[in-house]
Structure 1
Amino acid sequence: MDPPPQPPNIDPPTRAGITMPPPQDTRKAAIPGAPNAQQRADLAAIARRLASRHKEENPANIRYIASTRQEALAETTASRVSGDASVYVIQMEGNFLRHTRHGLKPIVGNSITIIVDAETGQVTDWSMSPRSHDLSRLGQAAAL
């Protein structure tokens, strides 16, 4: 008796002639090393620029922690994303004001948290809240 025929090996996978996207990368990202001098300057500039956009010219206690995006989001928001990345989490304090669309009441907060992709330097997430998040589970914060 002959074995059953095997389906052809098609790369990339297709279904009904449509190319399917590759599976999501589920590997855990590595925590990045300490940023070099230029990266630290870039992180500080990102923090000050976002503070300025939200009407705070002198933010206080600007600090960062090296982490992963999944861990950072778990500590700062209810948002979840697929995949993971090495990130720097910046947190700062001040009196922040965000105007909303259509002239609704502005949002105010005393803390902004920013997640920056360690490889690209791009902001992936940010949030404003009434108080700072406890990020001690992510590691030791360092001043920027």
Structure 2
Amino acid sequence: MADKSVAVRALPVGLLLALASGGAAIAQGTKPTEVKEITVVAPRITYQTKREGGSVIPKEVAIAKKTALVSYADLDLSRSADLYTLEDRIAKAAATVCEELAQELPDGEPATAVCTRRATDDAMAHLRMMTRNMATRP
């Protein structure tokens, strides 16, 4: 599981790597290899307040995110047991990146438990979409 921090305004590193590897394979005339990883994304928002004339209105909003790449290269996603294994890996990765973000930005939102649930749910939605697409391929 590789771990990357990226500003929200930038493309996720996993996407850049996938695009770069796919482009290289197309340029060489070979079939691109399938990336067997799921990206777990944990966002965190903080509000920096500066008191000017007694105001507590946020002057700056900082948005950060942390990602983890979860490999499933060793799993057969047509097997239920392997899907449960991947779901467990995703949940652990989400908990790890959310806890790291909470340590880096302790005043940020959402709470660690909410961050973990959202990051897990999002990655699982991508997994469900992926497995549906795999089932419809010839």
- For the superposition of Structure 1 and Structure 2, which TM-score range results when normalised by the shorter chain? under 0.3
Structure 1 or 2: more helix by fraction: 2
> How high is the TM-score relative to the length of structure 1?
0.23
Q: Which has the larger radius of gyration?
A: 1
Structure 1 or 2: more strand by fraction: 1
> How high is the TM-score relative to the length of structure 2?
0.24
